[in-house]
Structure 1
Amino acid sequence: MKRKSIFIVVLIVSICIGVYTHKNYKIDTSSGKIIISKNSKYDASEEIKKALSSLGNSKKADFIANVDTSADVISLSFEGLSDRDTINKIVNMLDEYGIKATFFVPGIEAAEDSSIVETIQKSGHDIGSGTLSSTKNMEKLSSEELVMDFCRTNKILKIVTGKDPVLLKCNSTVYNDNILKAAYASGNKYVVDSNHYLNYQSFKNYDQAYRYVNSLKRGTIISIKLEGVLDSTEYKGKEDKTTIDEQIDIDKKKSKKEKDENIIQIVRWLLKSIDEQKKMVAKVSELPNVEVYNNLQRIKNTIASQYAKKDTLKIKANKNNTLGNKTNDNNNSQNSIDLINFNEILEKNNKRQAPAVSEFYTTQKALAYTFRGLSNEVSLNNVLTELDKVNVKGTFFVTKDEILKYPDRINKILSKGHEIANGGITASTALLSKSPEEICKEIYEVDKLLKDKGIVTNAYMAGYGYDNSQIQEALSAVTNISSLKNYELFTYSKSPTINKYKNMDAEDIVFSYFNVNSYMSLRKGEIVYFRLDSNLFKSDNVVSNMIDIVTKNYVQNGYVNKYNEKSNSYSLEQKPLGYSVVTLGDLQKTFENSSQLGRYNIIKNPVPMKKRNYEDALEMMKTNYIGNVDVDTSDFTEQEKSLLDKGGTIDTKGENVIFFTFDDWGGDPVVNEILDVLNKHKVQGTFFVIAKNVDINSGISNANPNLLRTIALNGNDIGSHNYNHELLGTNREELGKSLVKSYDVMNSVIGDLDSLKQYFRPPTLILKREGLAAVFESGYKYSISGNISTHDYIETSAQNLVNYIQQGLVKNKGNVVVMHMNDQAYYTAEALDIFLTNNEKGVYGEKYKIAKLSDYLSN
């Protein structure tokens, strides 16, 4: 029985070997001997012979690498093959996002399982040669060796796919002339290179993937290795700075299943990031045709199909319905609109309204200029010239009429690196009387016209910045169409195109509109709107001149008030600000994270402070008030007076410490200068803020939550200086409301950061018993005045201020220095820099430790 079993096993193995041999080898017995050689199915001897004979003609394959283009286009390629399940999942994800990629397949792997390659090809992806076995450093091979490798691979891929592979990508290889000539001789018209490589170890989370995609230059080729680790030539520029050796160690510890799961996750994160940032994806073979934005027509169908596949709307169409003649953009758009039931979309949207974005909640050091009106070509050309001079990129909202009438002007705007956005169809006030359905159609039609020209935008401006409930409802509804899902409705925070400035010069307009009593500079995230075709201006260079003046005086620089002791008044002086002006698209897609400034959300329901009863508040006055020697305490009881702190220092257990604190509020030039000094010396301070200045609902025109968040992101403490700077002598009930509101407003801006502290500073340091009790009743844990009050807002030199601080220092204590961040604090940052430099050099004897209050006080 045992012998019989062994015989059966041997027979089965022999049959398998025979089948494999018959399939893969040919057996020749004509000479009387058994000669076994490779099956002729993949025999490339004729192709090799032909290629070798043509090597001498000096023709070389063209080189495809990252391209320099104005189009927001990237390309995806995959190197190698994985198992059937992994490839199926990747192909399905690509299909889900409507993206076509290029797979560079090794010949041997294609021969071993051709069905996987066929699956890739059926989904519309390109197949390129990944050489025979992904050999590295092929520049070291001879021309003959290269030809043999390339020809054999091409033969296999042609039999599997039915097409001659024209693309070739070598693994970790320097493309020298030998390779380019051998590639061309072997039938590969193009060789492909990339400096962006990913593998299954590339991202630890979606946030990293998003940042990676956001950092990509237009025209980048991303190469995704389906198996293995990256080598030293491929690993540069990755966020995760794991060494090559560490990668290899990790690779050895992971199973094949884990690696496959990881690469699938990497691809999923990558595709989602591309989709959310509205990047266009072209095949590698199409990249040479996007070097100039005007030549995007070859990827037009690719882009259109991406958005068509992602659309989940119920479209009223049958199999015979088409979008009409591809050369007639107007008819295409109308046909597409007729296929969509906008009423159904509006019903499903249930009256929701999109917010109108007049400025961005962002910590990015940038703002936006937007434009409308292409009919005045002279004005447009003047503006484009000026934008180049001041290194500004703008966003131009165009209408349907302008798209059809002025394609050359639109192309010129794009060629300068600016952005085109959706300006709708109706620009006049007639738009305000249109129904949400009509507005939906306008938005969709213009978006379709732009996409047909290879232009993708997520920005819509209604008319000349109009905004009403119908417009907001329409914009909210169209975002249910997946191709418009990230659309936003834009207005503006500033627009100097108003009737009162008719026939005025640019300089007069700017300094009237941007009144320095209110606006010391433009702020991060602002949207400044200019109309180019207005009849208000007496010449065609008024708008370009305004751009010059605004950029130099309110973006690159800002204003600060400088005190003059003799006249007892202030004069305006400029300080550098260094903000940039970028496109709306840049601001839209740049989100704040642990390593990047950008957009953030206002918190709708921040956690409030926990209130106390009156008796507990009176007890806290005795222990948690840090006072000032000059404060009047006459309305406190005798017992309370004896317990109230008057020294103004903090117990630091004998350490010499200085706490720099900054009161009130100011514009970006003053506050940024203080932050720059603190960051230069790698220290933090504590900022006591008048909260109405950061309240988006306060009604003031220059409310600036972005600046508050910037202070917090730089690691500083934030405390309250009350909502309206109310003194502690204010009616206790009203005072209590302001104290709570102050904290809640700041909490809505920075409540997700570890910066807002339950600290309070009495405005002007004035102290009243009932007022101080209200502070602690409201939930604050400390009220902090300080022992060195600098009055820096009336100082006449930085050195005087430095000397004053030095003279007030107390040894072996925590010195609380009261400074300011208002628009009169001209010398504050300079004095701070001098003092910190001196302290680091030991000028004051023992070096003082610089700390923020939360380093020694509980929150």
Structure 2
Amino acid sequence: MPFKNLFTSRKSALAALAVIVGLALLVWTSWMLLGKREKPPLEFDSANSLSQDEEQAVVLTEELGLAVDDVYTSRKRVALTFNGMADLDTMTRLLQELDKHQMRATFFLPGMRVAEEPDVVGMIAEAGHEIANNTLDQLDMSSWSAEQIVEDLQLTNELIERETGLSPRYVRTRSGDYTDEMRRAAKALGMEAVIGASINPRDRDGQSAAEIGAYVDRFLHRGAVILLNTHLNPEIVDAIGHIAEAVERQGFVAVPLGELMGEGTVRKALEEIPGHDAAQLNLDYANTDYLYITSLPNGENKIALTFDDWGSEKTINHILETLASYNVKSTFFLVGDGVERNPNLARAILDEGHEIANHTHSHKVVTTLSPEELQEDVVKAHRVLTEALQEQPLMLFRPPTGEIDENASRIIAATGYRTIVNYDVTALDWDVNNRAEDIVSTILERTVDGSIILLHLHDHIHTPEALPDVIEGLQDRGFTFVKVTELLEYAKE
């Protein structure tokens, strides 16, 4: 949609209004001047509540409001958000650029700027963007009490509501950082969440548009909340094109925060998830039984394709897309340390129909650890996987590098992971010097009935490039891909 510069001639009126708003924060008596009915100054009673009419009371408790840095979802969606309100020309060009790339965003607006530039607020709303609370004047609230924050946020909400007819659902500070006092205040005001960010290019440091775009491109992930500033770096307008290109190329969609939050799932606490305690520390391991497999011949040429470790969103998405294109389901043995940094991606693997199992948390060779260290690492990985998936992972374990002995096997089995799955086919694809054609030829030569094939999720290796030829070559030889749990059925016969 076209945008016009909407300069106003009411300069003296704007100056007066700014003074009025400043006084309102201190004494709360300017509601009549702002087009509202007059209210008495706010006072907190001994119960930490705002004393007013019963229906207007804001009650502060110790309960913390929701804090969100990213949204739990396996969909390839991100929220593009902006702090502050730049000058009219910059805002007009920014809105034009967003419109050009058909991107909708969430604008966190300071209350003072809303009062000074109501026409800009109207432009943002009319363009279909979401408006949220950026505090009254973007002051540092890190040492503020909840009572002080309530006054600031409430006035900002009123100013935004007056101009848009909508009550803001979210609040964010100037930096995106937040305190428990901020969360208490947001909860008392009935706001849905205090928002931080999971991708912050720190455009305030003066990066170029290309640098801002490259940063977003590098760290883009499911459920990300991207934080940009409208008023600190003029390059932000041109950065939109770079960001839009990265989002589209990686198959993501940028949506307003409210839409992303609506699509996301509330993450359960670990203790609420069935199976979170299926792995336990247990040093009474000497006589623990376990099942150890490297392959499972079945007479039907069924084989399992497995992936180890972790990688970036780009690399793993590439692998998932390839597997989906051939309708191949696999078993992923994931390192907890990686999953902890991007739990949404782990859930996406599961939602694609693949299996997820334990590959330790730290990826240390299990035979080098003490019994206590090894069990702690296995149990920690179990808990990280459970929390990321929001369900218990498969109780299958694969040792890093494949190295394991009987003693380590019993130590691991005593935690609850009694099935240890290694492999019989590896092309050492983790070595960047192994070309795609080397990986393909090695796997095709070594795979037999019941094979368990090992590949890796690392960045900068040639596995994604080799994968289509691996799948096609094995299918042409009459092999059928199944998950490890399906192969394990033959272990029972």
- The answer, yes or no, to whether TM exceeds 0.5 is yes
Look up the match of 2:91: 380
Q: 1:742 aligns with which of 377, 381, 387?
A: 381
Cα pair 1:369 1:395 within 8 Å, conserved: yes
Q: Report matched runs for 1:377-526 at 5 Å.
A: 377-429=88-140, 431-452=141-162, 453-479=164-190, 484=191, 487-497=192-202, 501-502=205-206, 504-508=207-211, 520-526=218-224
In structure 1, what is the Cα distance between the partners aligned to 2:346 and 2:171?
A: 29
Look up the match of 1:714: 352
Q: Offset of 1:707 from its aligned partner?
A: 0.2
761-770 or 732-741, larger mean C-alpha shift: 761-770
Q: Offset of 1:523 from its aligned partner?
A: 0.9
In structure 2, what is the Cα distance between the partners aligned to 1:378 and 1:657?
A: 64
Q: Offset of 1:466 from its aligned partner?
A: 3.4
Cα pair 1:363 1:599 within 8 Å, conserved: no
Look up the match of 1:676: 321
Cα pair 2:77 2:255 within 8 Å, conserved: yes
In structure 2, what is the Cα distance between the partners aligned to 1:611 and 1:549?
A: 47
The 1:508/1:367 distance shift into structure 2, 3 A limit, reads closer
Q: Offset of 1:394 from its aligned partner?
A: 1.3
In structure 1, what is the Cα distance between the partners aligned to 2:129 and 2:436?
A: 43
Q: 1:545 aligns with which of 238, 244, 254?
A: 238
What residue identity is the alignment partner of 2:229? R
1:834 aligns with 2:469: yes
Cα pair 2:304 2:487 within 8 Å, conserved: no
Q: Offset of 1:362 from its aligned partner?
A: 1.7
State the Cα deviation string for residues 142-191 of structure 1 (Å, max 9, x = none).
xxxxxxxxxxxxxxxxxxxxxxxxxxxxxxxxxxxxxxxxxxxxxxxxxx
State the Cα deviation string for residues 604-646 of structure 1 (Å, max 9, x = none).
314312558667665534xx112xxxxxxxxxxxxxxxxxxxx
In structure 1, what is the Cα distance between the partners aligned to 2:286 and 2:484?
A: 21
State the Cα deviation string for residues 12-54 of structure 1 (Å, max 9, x = none).
xxxxxxxxxxxxxxxxxxxxxxxxxxxxxxxxxxxxxxxxxxx
Cα pair 1:379 1:543 within 8 Å, conserved: no
Look up the match of 1:817: 453
Unaligned ranges ≥5, structure 2: 2-29, 51-56
Cα pair 2:84 2:134 within 8 Å, conserved: no
Cα pair 2:444 2:473 within 8 Å, conserved: no
Cα pair 2:444 2:474 within 8 Å, conserved: no
Q: Offset of 1:448 from its aligned partner?
A: 3.1
What residue identity is the alignment partner of 1:586? E
Aligned-partner SS, 1:414: helix
What residue identity is the alignment partner of 1:467? Y
Look up the match of 1:852: 483
Q: Report matched runs for 1:506-585 at 5 Å.
A: 506-508=209-211, 520-534=218-232, 537=233, 540=234, 542-553=235-246, 555-557=247-249, 577-585=250-258
State the Cα deviation string for residues 180-234 of structure 1 (Å, max 9, x = none).
xxxxxxxxxxxxxxxxxxxxxxxxxxxxxxxxxxxxxxxxxxxxxxxxxxxxxxx
Aligned-partner SS, 1:578: coil
Q: Offset of 1:758 from its aligned partner?
A: 0.9
In structure 2, what is the Cα distance between the partners aligned to 1:529 and 1:337?
A: 35
Q: Offset of 1:665 from its aligned partner?
A: 0.2
Q: Offset of 1:338 from its aligned partner?
A: 5.6
Q: Offset of 1:803 from its aligned partner?
A: 2.4
Aligned-partner SS, 1:332: coil
State the Cα deviation string for residues 767-822 of structure 1 (Å, max 9, x = none).
234322221122102111101012223365444433222111113xx210000112
The 1:509/1:671 distance shift into structure 2, 3 A limit, reads closer
In structure 1, what is the Cα distance between the partners aligned to 2:270 and 2:38?
A: 40
Look up the match of 1:30: none
Cα pair 2:79 2:225 within 8 Å, conserved: yes
Look up the match of 2:337: 692
Look up the match of 1:635: none
What residue identity is the alignment partner of 1:505? S
The normalised TM-score by structure 1 is 0.49
Aligned-partner SS, 2:409: helix
Q: Report matched runs for 1:616-695 at 5 Å.
A: 618=287, 620-621=289-290, 624-626=291-293, 648-652=294-298, 654-695=299-340
In structure 1, what is the Cα distance between the partners aligned to 2:41 and 2:326?
A: 59
Aligned-partner SS, 2:454: strand
Aligned-partner SS, 1:822: coil
The 1:388/1:347 distance shift into structure 2, 3 A limit, reads closer
Look up the match of 1:785: 422
In structure 2, what is the Cα distance between the partners aligned to 1:359 and 1:333?
A: 39
Aligned-partner SS, 1:432: coil
The 1:423/1:335 distance shift into structure 2, 3 A limit, reads farther
**What is the RMSD of the two structures over their aligned residues, measured on CA atoms?**
3.1
What residue identity is the alignment partner of 1:625? Y
Q: Offset of 1:509 from its aligned partner?
A: 5.5
Unaligned ranges ≥5, structure 1: 1-67, 69-322, 558-576, 591-597, 627-647, 696-702
The 1:614/1:497 distance shift into structure 2, 3 A limit, reads closer
The 1:768/1:785 distance shift into structure 2, 3 A limit, reads same
Q: Offset of 1:714 from its aligned partner?
A: 1.4
In structure 2, what is the Cα distance between the partners aligned to 1:778 and 1:520?
A: 37
Q: 2:278 aligns with which of 609, 614, 631?
A: 609
What residue identity is the alignment partner of 1:726? K
Look up the match of 1:332: 36
Aligned-partner SS, 1:792: coil
In structure 2, what is the Cα distance between the partners aligned to 1:437 and 1:736?
A: 47
Aligned-partner SS, 1:421: strand
Look up the match of 1:259: none
Cα pair 2:302 2:482 within 8 Å, conserved: yes
Cα pair 2:423 2:454 within 8 Å, conserved: yes
Q: Pick 1 or 2: higher relative contact order, CA cutoff 8 A, min separation 6.
A: 2
Aligned-partner SS, 2:93: helix
Q: Offset of 1:333 from its aligned partner?
A: 7.6
Q: Offset of 1:336 from its aligned partner?
A: 9.4
In structure 1, what is the Cα distance between the partners aligned to 2:281 and 2:186?
A: 46
Q: Offset of 1:657 from its aligned partner?
A: 0.9
Cα pair 1:661 1:687 within 8 Å, conserved: yes
In structure 2, what is the Cα distance between the partners aligned to 1:784 and 1:617?
A: 20
Aligned-partner SS, 1:850: strand
Look up the match of 2:11: none
State the Cα deviation string for residues 65-109 of structure 1 (Å, max 9, x = none).
xxx9xxxxxxxxxxxxxxxxxxxxxxxxxxxxxxxxxxxxxxxxx
What residue identity is the alignment partner of 1:464? S
Q: Report matched runs for 1:197-208 at 5 Å.
A: none
Q: Offset of 1:510 from its aligned partner?
A: 5.5
Cα pair 2:308 2:334 within 8 Å, conserved: yes
Aligned-partner SS, 1:556: helix
Cα pair 2:48 2:61 within 8 Å, conserved: no
The 1:525/1:418 distance shift into structure 2, 3 A limit, reads same
In structure 1, what is the Cα distance between the partners aligned to 2:147 and 2:197?
A: 24
What residue identity is the alignment partner of 1:522? L
Look up the match of 1:354: 65
Q: Offset of 1:705 from its aligned partner?
A: 0.2
The 1:727/1:333 distance shift into structure 2, 3 A limit, reads farther
The normalised TM-score by structure 2 is 0.82
Aligned length: 449
In structure 1, what is the Cα distance between the partners aligned to 2:281 and 2:42?
A: 63
In structure 1, what is the Cα distance between the partners aligned to 2:314 and 2:132?
A: 31
Look up the match of 1:733: 372
**Highest Rg: 1 or 2?**
1
Cα pair 2:133 2:157 within 8 Å, conserved: yes
